[in-house]
Structures are given as structure tokens and as C-alpha cells.
């Protein structure tokens, strides 16, 4: 739900194979902020069967979906998780059993998506910044990697993520704003972007720090070239670059869009 | 604001309100002034936790509207916007004289506190003499259990257990809650405890109930226990805050008025955070 672009939203809708997808919004990470719920309906209600679940308003009959949460969520084509605080969100989800429901939905084939906290939550580990003190947070663990978001918007994120991966956080993906990782099961299929120059990065531990590999994103805009197929994009020429711990400067030329290792669920 | 020594048990104060205070009584400051009177600090630091509401702007604004021009240092902590926080949680919690918890979803409140480790920090603050106050979910959370509507219909759920017994709130304002609580006490799902109308507060010193206060004439409270499978109910008569002989406010002297004026000027009238 980027304010100035619907490219990522259109892309995720295209993954559902439904002419009018059933989409449910979970704004938990924002504390169910009203303005975010309104923004969701403005974006999706024309083209989708849109609904939302508020875990803070259920006592007032204003929780969006009021009947059985599991039944409702498992009947969706797409579950869209909003941004905010990932720790608060996971805490509230567990209290309402949403963590288990979302695992079931994923296994059933419901497309799961979201920005920021709505991305971090699917991974084994997430790097989350709190009042200046970053920390590793366990996510739902559907994807056996770590994840770091806002990689370009907050410059200290790169330093912190390198430090965490260097210190034992599992290997994973760092993503710039406007860039999305598309996984099928646990394998990275594509890296797409609503911005022409967006990138994601694969970050892995190495002997003396970490190795960061740039994954160039396919621009989703109208004048974009036809997206490369996953097979074509794993062409040779990928280059990895070894990055010492706590290095901020970074220039990596090559792309490496394919996922690290296939791990069928 | 000053270095703390571990408080004796009886110096650990909790005010549990069945409803009332700045979110529910925007024109009646009696309970909130009573909260401020519970600490010896002249200009107490007051931390508001709006977690149970999802940190709604409405609650935060109501908190500032009530406390910004009172003799205190008001601050709120949003667990959904921690990127804005200036200090680590532990430092924020341990530096307060009063911690005031708002209403909303008790289930979400406790789950989110636990996820951030705030439950342990609050226990530590209570042990060190920080006054804990709250209404509705922010009152039931201190007991062994309460009755929540977090998932829609009222249902019993456990709390943090700093205080013995259970609590149910809004006994007059949300009448559907009380029968569920009574049934839970009768069948042993919840221990015996208190049912509070809106506007009524229980003040505990340590684990002992010390006072029952009210911001509204006519608001009541009751103590209920299950004895041999039967409910035994005792009515409690709250003392009305404000102008009674037992009221905490009394008359404010000129020096306090002067301090308040200076305080208002310093922050700007009706201003936001200090």
C-alpha cells in the first residue's frame, strides 16, 4: 500500500489467479490504526472482496470479521499484513491464535504478503530496531532465513544487519523500500520493485564478516521490460562480494536473483 | 525522579479502577488527581501505557489534556511506535513515580507486554515503589484474573497476579460482564474478588485493600467469594472523592497554585509533552 504506487499491490493480486480475490487485511502491527484500515479499503475494495480483522476492537463489534477467525482467514486468496511493530504484532497474534491460523493458511496455499513488520513476521528471524537498540526477533518461521527491511531508508540498518549475521543470526535477505521478495514455498522466486533502481541483498556469514550479494529487482512499471523468468535470471555472471563486518560502503554490480537453497516445506 | 530504595510491601500502591479517569471522565478529574496524590513526589513523573487500546491517538490526547497542565511530568509509551522512543524500555519504566494503564483489550495488553518483557519491568517498578494505576483492562491486569471482552463475548482470563483475587469492571456500564464473572467465581475458574462500577477505585497497599474511592455519587462496589459453592456478596461503600473530609485534595495552598502556574508557563498552555 505505497501511497504513490500500486505496482506491488497489483503484483501480489496477480499471484492469486482469481478475477476478484478475497483479501483480508491484518493491521495488528499498527495497533489497528483506523487510517490504515481506511487506506486498505480505498486501495482494494473496488477490485477485491476486501475484509479486515481488528484484534483491538472485537469487544465493540467493530473488529471487522466477527465470526470464526480461522474459517474466515483460511477462505481467503490473500492475507495482507500491515506494517508497524513486529514484536507487538506477534504477541497479539499468539494471544488470539493467529500464528497457527496463518501457518495453516500458508500450507493451504493462501498468498501471504506485507511490508515492513508484515514482511519480517514470516521469517525465522527478523532484525527489528527499537529505540536505537536493534535486536533479533523470532518470527513465525515459515521462511528459514532472516530478514531486514528499510535497508536503504535507514543507513544504520546495513551495519546492524551485517553485525547480527556476522554474530550468528541466520543468513537472510535485506530489502530496500519498494522492493519485494516473492517466495514460493521457501524458495525465492523473484525480486520485484515499484522503483526502477530497487534492490534486495542476500547476506550470509563468512569467516571474517559477511558476504552480501546484490539481487537486482525487476521493475514492475508499465515501461518495464518483460520480467526475466526465474531460469533466465539465474544466469552465470553473478558475483558475490565479501564484506567485512561493520562496513557501510557498498557497491555490488552483479545480480543473483535465485534463492539460496530449495527447501520444500 | 529521585533514587529509589526498594519499597516495603505496604508502600507498594496500586489503584484499580472499574472505569473512570481521563479517558472516561473528561470533565471529572477526581480519580486522576487522586492518582497524583498517591506519590510523595512534588512533581511526579507519570507514564501512560495505552497498549490495551492499540495506542490510539484518542487515549494519548486525553491523557495529555488531563495531565499536561497539572503538577507532573506526563509521558506516554507506545509499544506500536517504539521507533519514536528515546530511551530503552527498562529506563523509561524505572524512572517513573506513577505508571497509569489505559483500558481496551486485556488479552492484547498482557500478550504485548509479555512480548516486550514489560510485565517483568512493571513487577520490578511496583516492588521499587512506583505507583501503579489503571482502569478496566488496565485495572484487571494486576489481579489473578478478570473478565475480558477481548474476543467479543465476556470470558474469564488470568492476569499478572500482583494482587490476590479477581476483578471485574464496568459493573454498571457493561452489565453483561458481571454474570460471567459471578459464574466464574462460583465454579472456581476465578478466585473471589471485587466488582466495580465505573468511577470506583480500589487502593491496595501491598496486597491489602486500603481504601475504596469514587468519583461519582452512587457508584458502588462489591466483594464476592464462593463459599461451599455459594456466592457470598458484601457491598462496599466507596468514599466520594473531592470535597469530603477524607478527600485527598483538600485545599491547595498558594505555593502549589504558583508552582502549577509556573509549570503551565514552562510547557506552554495546553502544550504537549514536556
Q: What is the ipTM of this complex?
A: 0.81
Percent of chain A with pLDDT over 90: 68
Per-residue pLDDT at B257 exceeds 60:
no
At residue A247, does pLDDT exceed 90? no
Min distance A258 CA to chain B CA atoms (Å): 33
Q: Do A91 and B112 touch (CB under 8 A)?
A: yes
Q: Which residue in the set B89, B112, B151 is minimally distant from A58, CB to CB?
A: B151
A116 has catalytic annotation: yes
Instruction: Say how many C-beta atoms besides its own lie within 10 A of residue B160's C-beta.
Output: 21
Q: Cβ separation of A133 and B79 shorter than 8 Å?
A: no
Q: Which of B131, B134, B190, B179 is nearest to B157 (CA)?
A: B190
Is A131 in Cβ contact with B115 (below 8 Å)?
no
Please tell me which residue in B53, B170, B214, B215 is annotated as part of the active site: B170
- Shortest distance between the Cα of B126 and any Cα of chain A, in A, equals 23
Decide if A130 touches B, using CB distance below 8 A: yes
Smallest Cα distance from A241 to chain B, Å: 31
Cα A57 to Cα A53: distance, rounded to the nearest angstrom: 9
- Confirm or reject contact between A91 and chain B (CB < 8 A): yes
Q: Is the pLDDT of residue A51 over 60?
A: yes
CB contact under 8 A, A92 and B111: yes
For the segment B135-151, the average pLDDT, to the nearest whole number, is: 96
Chain B contact present for A153, CB below 8 A: no
Which residues in chain A touch residue B81, judged by CB atoms under 8 angstroms apart?
84-85
Name the A residues in 4-33 with CB < 8 Å from any B CB.
29-33
Q: Which residue(s) pair with A22 in the sheet?
A: A49
- Give the pLDDT score at B3: 43
Return d(Cα B102, Cα A31) in angstroms, integer.
14
Given A116, A119, A199, A233, which residue is catalytic? A116
**Residue of chain B with shortest Cα separation from A92:** B108
pLDDT of residue A236: 36
pLDDT grade, residue A263 (50/70/90)?
A: very low
> Residue A1: its pLDDT value, please?
83
Nearest to B82 among A66, A94, A130 (CB): A130
- Give Dmax over CA atoms of chain B in angstroms: 60
Give the range among A34-48, A80-94, B116-130, B232-246 with minimum mean pLDDT.
Answer: B232-246
Average pLDDT for residues A26-52, to the nearest whole number? 94
Strand partners, A118: none
Give the model's pLDDT for residue A224: 55
Distance CA A197, CA A182 (A): 17
Considering only CB atoms, A87 lies closest to which of B115, B148, B150, namely B115
Interface test mutation site (partner A, options B56, B61, B112, B117, max chain A beta carbons within 10 A): B112
Which pLDDT value is given to residue B81? 83
CA angle B91, B94, B95 (to 5 degrees): 85
Is residue A134 over pLDDT 60? yes
Pairing of strands A123-130, A133-138: antiparallel
Residue B14, pLDDT > 50, answer: yes
Does residue B250 surpass a pLDDT of 70? no
pLDDT score, position B148: 95
Q: How far is A225 from chain B (nearest CA, A)?
A: 38
Answer whether B116 sits within 8 Å of A56, measured CB to CB. Answer: no
Q: How far apart are CA A84 and CA A32, in angstroms?
A: 10
- β-pairing, B143-148 vs B163-168, is parallel
- HSE (side-chain half, CA atoms, 13 Å) at A167: 10
CA B103 to centroid of chain Cα atoms: 9
Residue B87's pLDDT band (cuts 50, 70, 90): confident
Q: What pLDDT score was predicted for residue B16?
A: 98
* Contact check, Cβ <8 Å, B108/A92: yes
The pLDDT tens digits of the residues spanning B164-197 come to 999 999 999 888 999 999 999 999 999 999 999 9
* Largest interatomic CA distance in chain A: 58
Is the distance from CB of B110 to CB of B79 less than 8 angstroms?
no
Average pLDDT over residues A40-45: 95
A35 counts as catalytic: no
Amino acid at each position: 500500500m505505497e501511497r504513490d504506487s500500486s505496482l506491488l499491490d497489483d503484483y501480489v493480486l496477480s499471484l492469486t489467479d482469481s478475477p476478484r480475490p478475497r483479501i483480508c487485511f491484518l493491521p495488528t502491527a499498527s495497533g489497528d490504526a483506523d487510517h490504515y484500515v481506511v487506506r486498505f479499503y480505498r486501495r482494494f475494495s473496488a477490485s477485491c472482496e476486501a475484509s479486515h480483522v481488528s484484534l483491538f476492537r472485537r469487544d465493540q463489534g467493530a473488529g471487522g470479521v466477527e465470526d470464526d477467525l480461522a474459517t474466515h482467514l483460511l477462505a481467503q486468496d490473500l492475507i495482507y499484513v500491515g506494517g508497524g511493530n513486529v514484536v507487538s504484532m506477534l504477541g497479539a497474534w499468539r494471544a488470539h491464535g493467529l500464528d497457527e491460523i496463518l501457518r495453516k493458511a500458508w500450507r493451504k496455499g493462501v498468498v501471504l504478503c506485507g511490508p515492513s513488520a508484515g514482511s519480517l513476521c514470516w521469517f525465522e528471524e527478523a532484525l527489528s530496531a527499537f529505540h536505537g537498540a536493534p535486536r533479533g526477533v523470532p518470527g513465525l518461521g515459515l521462511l528459514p532465513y532472516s530478514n531486514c527491511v528499510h535497508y536503504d531508508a535507514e543507513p544504520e540498518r546495513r551495519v546492524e544487519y551485517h553485525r547480527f549475521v556476522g554474530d550468528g543470526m541466520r543468513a537472510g535477505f535485506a530489502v530496500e523500500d519498494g522492493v519485494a521478495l516473492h517466495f514460493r514455498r521457501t524458495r525465492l522466486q523473484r525480486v520485484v520493485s515499484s522503483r526502477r533502481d530497487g534492490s534486495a541483498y542476500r547476506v550470509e556469514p563468512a569467516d571474517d564478516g559477511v558476504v552480501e550479494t546484490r539481487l537486482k529487482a525487476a521493475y514492475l512499471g508499465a515501461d518495464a521490460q518483460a520480467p526475466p523468468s526465474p531460469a533466465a535470471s539465474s544466469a552465470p555472471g553473478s558475483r558475490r562480494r565479501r564484506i567485512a563486518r561493520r562496513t557501510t560502503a557498498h557497491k555490488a554490480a552483479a545480480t543473483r536473483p535465485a534463492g539460496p537453497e530449495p527447501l520444500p516445506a | 525522579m529521585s533514587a529509589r530504595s526498594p519499597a516495603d510491601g505496604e508502600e507498594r500502591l496500586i489503584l484499580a479502577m472499574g472505569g473512570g479517569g481521563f479517558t472516561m471522565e473528561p470533565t471529572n478529574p477526581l480519580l486522576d488527581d487522586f492518582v497524583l496524590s498517591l506519590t510523595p513526589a512534588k512533581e511526579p513523573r507519570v507514564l501512560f501505557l495505552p497498549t490495551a487500546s492499540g495506542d490510539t491517538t484518542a487515549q494519548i490526547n486525553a491523557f495529555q489534556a488531563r495531565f499536561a497542565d497539572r503538577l507532573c511530568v506526563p509521558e506516554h509509551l507506545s509499544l506500536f511506535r517504539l521507533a519514536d522512543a528515546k530511551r530503552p524500555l527498562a529506563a523509561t519504566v524505572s524512572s517513573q513515580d506513577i505508571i497509569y494503564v489505559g483500558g481496551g483489550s486485556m488479552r492484547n495488553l498482557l500478550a504485548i507486554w509479555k512480548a516486550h518483557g514489560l510485565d517483568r519491568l512493571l513487577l520490578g517498578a511496583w516492588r521499587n515503589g512506583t505507583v501503579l494505576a489503571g482502569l478496566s483492562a488496565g485495572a484487571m491486569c494486576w489481579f489473578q484474573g478478570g473478565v475480558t471482552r477481548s474476543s467479543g463475548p465476556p470470558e474469564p482470563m488470568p492476569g499478572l497476579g500482583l494482587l490476590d483475587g479477581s476483578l471485574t469492571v464496568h459493573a454498571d456500564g457493561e452489565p453483561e460482564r458481571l454474570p460471567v464473572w459471578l459464574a466464574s467465581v462460583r465454579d472456581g475458574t476465578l478466585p473471589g474478588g471485587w466488582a466495580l462500577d465505573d468511577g470506583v477505585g480500589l487502593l491496595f497497599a501491598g496486597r491489602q485493600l486500603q481504601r475504596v474511592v469514587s468519583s461519582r455519587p452512587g457508584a458502588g462496589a462489591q466483594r464476592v467469594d464462593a463459599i461451599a459453592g455459594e456466592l457470598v456478596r458484601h457491598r462496599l461503600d466507596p468514599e466520594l472523592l473531592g470535597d469530603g473530609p477524607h478527600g485527598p485534595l483538600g485545599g491547595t495552598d498558594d505555593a502549589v497554585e504558583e508552582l502549577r502556574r509556573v509549570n503551565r508557563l514552562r510547557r506552554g498552555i495546553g502544550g504537549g509533552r514536556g
